[in-house]
Amino acid sequence: MGQSKKQLHRNAAKIKARIAELEGLCRFDPLKSKPKIHEELAELKKKPAEE
């Protein structure tokens, strides 16, 4: 079964909040010394575009 509208909205809100958090961390890491953060941010930015 699919997800309800409420659950879809919650998931989208979680993703947006995580993107905002990671953008702040990436801003303080311009040399990409922590590549996992940058990879996760790129992945999450792709995800909402797909849905």
DSSP-derived letter for residue 1 is -
List, for residues 4-17, the tens digit of each pLDDT value.
999 999 998 999 99
- Would you place residue 42 in the very low, low, confident or very high pLDDT band (cuts 50, 70, 90)? very high
DSSP states of 3-51 as a string? --HHHHHHHHHHHHHHHHHHHHHHHT-TT-SSHHHHHHHHHHHHHHHH-
pTM of the predicted model as reported, rounded to 2 decimal places: 0.80
Measured CA to CA, the distance from residue 32 to residue 10 in angstroms comes to 30
